[in-house]
A and B are shown apart, each in its own frame.
Chain A
């Protein structure tokens, strides 16, 4: 059975605004770095397939796929778009390599929300046009309602959610790619403006611009390209239901199913023991706790307690979001999952600088597509 490795990564870094570059320039910069990192390969000769992860409405085009090839070096090459999360893009690259017909696949993802004049109105266009959208309002009320239900059912607290914010924003101070690093404490979070009860302003990640490209390869080729491959040991992705009326509001079912699929492939039986660290989606503070539980890193209702005890801190027993997560790096639309993935790769390579964890072998990256979806993906990566 052939194995799949990540052999090159390139990132532009993330920022709240990027008036100096177009999305094409961001993609070019990330791609150039990734190709160089993967043993200086040529996209025109060495890459068998290219995947771009993008959604039309984020980009302001009707068929965004059109605008992808040139800056990736993929003209007259085998490129396509996945309209989904970037870890679903990773799953696609993984499957392509597993077929045996593709040895090297490039995966691109970017977000440039600062180009979107009406970002949250675009989000509301993802609501069911008949049943939900006519109700109006800022779409993040969905997250507020979910947080309420989650806290009520699991016994986690709003204060524990605030601790997630403080931890992640502080972690982000050590991450040069992060846009929203800050030294805030629990009180700052609890005192920030109420937005969508029980969410406060600081519980919500802020938009950020940036791009990431990764190069994946089969085991035979990986050995030739990079001395430091990071192996994709398992991957899972699923969607619960787009229907707000019938989905589960307390548990992140999509993340649980995706994690079960990924762990099974990776041969991970006891995630809380076998996983050394995790990068989980934290578009909203409570999501980190909800996702930790869905990933079986702790028992249901136990994530807040772990956070309170400092277990998830960067020097804790189970560091969660050492990158700073989306709360620290910013919400980069479909590239948010790729941020999580990038940190896992850097940590497993020992290239995470001042936030490097010691003795890590297995890391998990998890994504969620944001309000109002119930879709997510999980990847289990290891360096051995």
Chain B
């Protein structure tokens, strides 16, 4: 892959809906609410957007085939170049990567990036949509569910490094507390490690408070080329690195203790951004945390911690909002909520607000200059990463 100077892409606006059950709004309306907020922050109108890219996860949540088409006018795509990218849970961050190439290619000066998910319409529970993500011959007959396979992964991770459940529960405690300061959060709470350990066992070692909730919501970003961004704002946030990677479909054939695909995606983004020492150079990170152990797992995959060392950083408070390497200052998926694709885009929004110093009570200490957002998807198989700088 060649690296030579090309067009820089800026984020100039971000917006999101509340993450919760939205019975009254359709997915289209959620998409528009977030888009409008992002446009307002950028000081632009829909007519200024030259292209639109949509991220939304399984059609089975809504029971709408070609969901991207259905959501098009909600995302403001009428008469505009519009496409949908889809990489499972990794979609929310990946859609920002997709917005990046719309502008970095020189084809468009502006791009509206929208992540949307409405899970509550899936009956009886969104988890049922996930029963059809498995291979119909090898896995589905086992009656396997999403939580089972993550229990396998969590177990393996704990076993290889000798990590205790207490160490992992600290992530849930931190993120839910962080979410108390997020106006859009669904599950902000002051809980203790004991609360996590005493919560209902879902599939050992996964317990209820180890898991993020299901939610409805949308998040959006306005992207612009360097010329346009400089005219509109004094403090654009630059997308300096994007990365994505997929591992084999056959998740049963790899060692689950380490997400190599996340490392590969991070390496792509770090190379593009010229980052050589991630823990030193990254000031704040939004790491995908649908389960508490995943935050630790992904910190290691992103090379923000050495293998097996992420629980130690967490115990030492380094990943707290006032620590040296704040992780998920928003409250993450565990606290803010997990409308799949929108949750990843929310992470990109949070990094944008943090780097602009606009995160209010959630603002991390110091003057963060470089931030990272990451999401994870498919069958424990996909990593998507974006690196931003102020």
CB-CB under 8 A from B245, the residues of chain A are: 76-79
CB-CB under 8 A from A354, the residues of chain B are: none
Q: Is the CB of A60 within 8 A of B132?
A: yes
Which partner residue on chain B sits nearest A103 by CB separation? Answer: B2
Q: Is the CB of B68 within 8 A of A83?
A: yes
Q: Report A163 CB to chain B, min CB distance, Å.
A: 31
CB-CB under 8 A from B84, the residues of chain A are: 82-84
Which partner residue on chain B sits nearest A236 by CB separation? Answer: B81
Would A369 and B66 be within 8 Å (CB), given that A65-B86, A91-B83, A101-B6 are in contact?
Answer: yes
Interface-centre pick from B26, B70, B102, B105 (highest chain A CB count, 10 A): B105
Q: Is the CB of B272 within 8 A of A55?
A: no
Q: Report B65 CB to chain A, min CB distance, Å.
A: 4
Q: Is the CB of B64 within 8 A of A125?
A: yes
Restricting to B54-87, which residues have a CB under 8 Å from any CB of A? 57-60, 62-70, 72-73, 77-87
Q: Is the CB of A95 within 8 A of B105?
A: yes
Restricting to A235-266, which residues have a CB under 8 Å from any CB of B? 236-243, 253, 257, 261
Would A81 and B87 be within 8 Å (CB), given that A236-B81, A375-B82 are in contact?
Answer: yes
Q: Is the CB of B78 within 8 A of A240?
A: yes
Interface-centre pick from B58, B68, B135 (highest chain A CB count, 10 A): B68
Q: Is the CB of B86 within 8 A of A76?
A: no
Q: Is the CB of B130 within 8 A of A57?
A: no
Contact with B along A52-67 (1 / 0, CB 8 A): 0001110011110111
Instruction: Say if the beta carbon of A275 comes within 8 Å of chain B.
Output: no
In Å, the complex CA distance between A74 and B3 comes to 21
In Å, the complex CA distance between A261 and B50 comes to 12
Q: Is the CB of B65 within 8 A of A126?
A: yes
Contact with B along A98-117 (1 / 0, CB 8 A): 11111100000000000000
Instruction: Say if the beta carbon of A21 comes within 8 Å of chain B.
Output: no
Q: Is the CB of A122 within 8 A of B246?
A: no
Would A239 and B77 be within 8 Å (CB), given that A76-B261, A81-B87 are in contact?
Answer: yes
**Which of these, A63, A74, A79, A100, contacts B377 with CB under 8 Å?**
A63
In Å, the complex CA distance between A97 and B132 comes to 34
Contact with A along B1-28 (1 / 0, CB 8 A): 1111111000000000000000000100
**Which of these, B3, B70, B73, contacts A126 with CB under 8 Å?**
B70
Instruction: Say if the beta carbon of A92 comes within 8 Å of chain B.
Output: yes
Instruction: Say if the beta carbon of B268 comes within 8 Å of chain A.
Output: yes
Would A101 and B272 be within 8 Å (CB), given that A76-B247, A77-B245 are in contact?
Answer: yes
Q: Is the CB of B379 within 8 A of A242?
A: no
Instruction: Say if the beta carbon of B214 comes within 8 Å of chain A.
Output: no
Q: Is the CB of A63 within 8 A of B378?
A: yes
Q: Report B268 CB to chain A, min CB distance, Å.
A: 7
Q: Report B292 CB to chain A, min CB distance, Å.
A: 23
**Which of these, B1, B72, B248, B260, contacts A239 with CB under 8 Å?**
B72
Q: Report A138 CB to chain B, min CB distance, Å.
A: 15
Q: Is the CB of B133 within 8 A of A63?
A: yes
Q: Report B385 CB to chain A, min CB distance, Å.
A: 11
Would A81 and B85 be within 8 Å (CB), given that A63-B133, A98-B107, A101-B3 are in contact?
Answer: yes
Instruction: Say if the beta carbon of B150 comes within 8 Å of chain A.
Output: no
Q: Report B72 CB to chain A, min CB distance, Å.
A: 5
Instruction: Say if the beta carbon of A68 comes within 8 Å of chain B.
Output: yes
Instruction: Say if the beta carbon of A145 comes within 8 Å of chain B.
Output: no
CB-CB under 8 A from A279, the residues of chain B are: none
**Which of these, B63, B88, B98, B260, contacts A129 with CB under 8 Å?**
B63
Q: Report B209 CB to chain A, min CB distance, Å.
A: 26
The interface on chain B, measured as residues whose beta carbon lies within 8 A of the other chain's beta carbons, has a size of 68
Instruction: Say if the beta carbon of B129 comes within 8 Å of chain A.
Output: yes
Would A241 and B73 be within 8 Å (CB), given that A48-B1, A95-B102 are in contact?
Answer: yes
Would A65 and B378 be within 8 Å (CB), given that A83-B84, A125-B65, A238-B79 are in contact?
Answer: yes
CB-CB under 8 A from B135, the residues of chain A are: 67
**Which of these, A61, A253, A373, contacts B133 with CB under 8 Å?**
A61
Q: Report B35 CB to chain A, min CB distance, Å.
A: 15
CB-CB under 8 A from B68, the residues of chain A are: 83-84
Q: Is the CB of B83 within 8 A of A82?
A: yes
The interface on chain A, measured as residues whose beta carbon lies within 8 A of the other chain's beta carbons, has a size of 60
Q: Is the CB of A80 within 8 A of B87?
A: yes
Restricting to A326-362, which residues have a CB under 8 Å from any CB of B? none
Q: Report B242 CB to chain A, min CB distance, Å.
A: 9
Instruction: Say if the beta carbon of B320 comes within 8 Å of chain A.
Output: no
CB-CB under 8 A from B238, the residues of chain A are: none
In Å, the complex CA distance between A373 and B105 comes to 27
In Å, the complex CA distance between A57 and B285 comes to 35
In Å, the complex CA distance between A66 and B252 comes to 13
In Å, the complex CA distance between A241 and B70 comes to 9
Instruction: Say if the beta carbon of B274 comes within 8 Å of chain A.
Output: no
In Å, the complex CA distance between A56 and B64 comes to 10
CB-CB under 8 A from B87, the residues of chain A are: 65, 80-81
Instruction: Say if the beta carbon of B382 comes within 8 Å of chain A.
Output: yes
Which partner residue on chain B sits nearest A66 by CB separation? Answer: B378
Restricting to B106-151, which residues have a CB under 8 Å from any CB of A? 106-107, 129-133, 135-136
CB-CB under 8 A from A60, the residues of chain B are: 132, 136
In Å, the complex CA distance between A237 and B68 comes to 14
In Å, the complex CA distance between A76 and B26 comes to 37
In Å, the complex CA distance between A100 and B5 comes to 8
CB-CB under 8 A from A76, the residues of chain B are: 245-248, 260-261, 264
Instruction: Say if the beta carbon of B250 comes within 8 Å of chain A.
Output: yes
Q: Is the CB of A240 within 8 A of B79?
A: yes
Instruction: Say if the beta carbon of B235 comes within 8 Å of chain A.
Output: no
**Which of these, A62, A69, A84, contacts B249 with CB under 8 Å?**
A69
Q: Is the CB of A242 within 8 A of B72?
A: yes
Instruction: Say if the beta carbon of B330 comes within 8 Å of chain A.
Output: no
Q: Report B240 CB to chain A, min CB distance, Å.
A: 12
Q: Is the CB of B6 within 8 A of A61?
A: no
**Which of these, A74, A100, A241, contacts B2 with CB under 8 Å?**
A100
In Å, the complex CA distance between A57 and B83 comes to 17
Instruction: Say if the beta carbon of A88 comes within 8 Å of chain B.
Output: yes
Would A56 and B60 be within 8 Å (CB), given that A67-B249, A83-B86, A375-B82 are in contact?
Answer: yes
Given A101-B104, A129-B64, list of 20 further CB < 8 A pairs? A56-B59, A56-B60, A62-B131, A62-B133, A63-B88, A65-B86, A69-B248, A76-B260, A83-B85, A92-B98, A101-B1, A103-B1, A123-B65, A126-B65, A236-B81, A238-B82, A239-B79, A240-B79, A253-B79, A369-B69
For this complex, 29 residue pairs linking A to B, each with C-beta atoms less than 8 Å apart, are A48-B1, A55-B66, A56-B86, A57-B59, A60-B132, A62-B58, A62-B129, A62-B130, A69-B248, A76-B260, A78-B246, A79-B245, A80-B86, A82-B84, A83-B85, A84-B83, A101-B3, A103-B2, A122-B65, A126-B64, A129-B62, A238-B79, A238-B81, A238-B82, A239-B69, A241-B73, A241-B78, A369-B66, A369-B69
Across the A-B interface, the 8 shortest Cβ-Cβ residue pairs? A98-B105, A125-B65, A95-B105, A100-B6, A126-B65, A57-B65, A62-B58, A63-B88
Interface residues of B (CB under 8 A from A): 1-7, 26, 57-60, 62-70, 72-73, 77-88, 94, 98, 101-102, 104-107, 129-133, 135-136, 243-250, 260-261, 264, 268, 272, 377-379, 381-382
